A and B are shown apart, each in its own frame.
Chain A
Amino acid sequence: AQKITQTQPGMFVQEKEAVTLDCTYDTSDPSYGLFWYKQPSSGEMIFLIYQGSYDQQNATEGRYSLNFQKARKSANLVISASQLGDSAMYFCAMREGRGTSYDKVIFGPGTSLSVIP
């Protein structure tokens, strides 16, 4: 069963506008972590933001914020003030467990974001 769902295969956003990338997940483990990664055409995976299942507040990192709605099992990424360099693939990922070194991280199908000048 699909554990990470990203329903938007592709998104367009005007430069300087905000954009929300959707992510829903499925787990029965009370302890888990959610990640967002950016993958430009070069292939490298760039860590953006992390949200732990027990974190009380939504995570923020600069222009990135995570809209964490635990009851709905959603972890949407909000990018404010989009820049041309934000054009890339974005992956939502989940780690089940308490975060030991051997915990697997699984990835959603990804969303391709294109920022329009």
Chain B
Amino acid sequence: GAVVSQHPSWVICKSGTSVKIECRSLDFQATTMFWYRQFPKQSLMLMATSNEGSKATYEQGVEKDKFLINHASLTLSTLTVTSAHPEDSSFYICRTNARHTEAFFGQGTRLTVV
């Protein structure tokens, strides 16, 4: 079964609205969650790293005020895309290191902003 549960799997929203994406770790404690974005036919680009109980660390070029990350508990991390615009349409996916030989991904969220 899924180790990391990500919801929603797809979402369509109007330009200017905010969208929240959740990643829940199942049966283990995820102290760190990584958030990636993937544009069509491109690779996964790391956006930010969140650690439980502390502020997220954002990669260069990623707007922290636009992509709000919260990791309030060991089983839940959320990414909120604020004031979404069409250029934010992408595939967003979370990942956690449950053990060093494997990285567990959520199922991903396809965001379309219209």
Contact = CB atoms under 8 A, between A and B. Distances in A.
B100 A99 contact: yes
Contacts of B91: 43
A52 B101 contact: yes
A50 interface: yes
A33 to B, nearest CB: 7
Contacts of A104: 34, 46, 49
Given A33-B100, A35-B103, A43-B108, A101 B31 contact: yes
A100 interface: yes
B42 interface: yes
A50 B97 CA distance: 13
B102 interface: yes
B24 interface: no
Interface string B68-100: 000000000000000000000001010111011
Contacts of A45: 44, 93, 95, 105, 108
Contact of A102 (B49, B93, B102, B108): B49
Nearest to B95: A105
Name the interface size band of chain A: 20 to 34
A47 B46 contact: no
B97 A99 contact: yes
Contacts of B51: 102
A98 interface: yes
A29 interface: no
Scoring B34, B45, B49, B103 by chain A CB atoms within 10 A of each residue's CB, the highest score goes to: B103
25 contacts: A33-B101, A35-B102, A35-B103, A43-B91, A43-B108, A43-B110, A44-B105, A44-B107, A45-B93, A50-B102, A91-B43, A91-B44, A95-B97, A101-B31, A101-B32, A101-B96, A102-B32, A104-B34, A104-B46, A105-B95, A105-B97, A106-B46, A107-B43, A107-B45, A110-B42
Interface of A: 33, 35, 43-45, 47, 50, 52, 91, 93, 95, 98-110
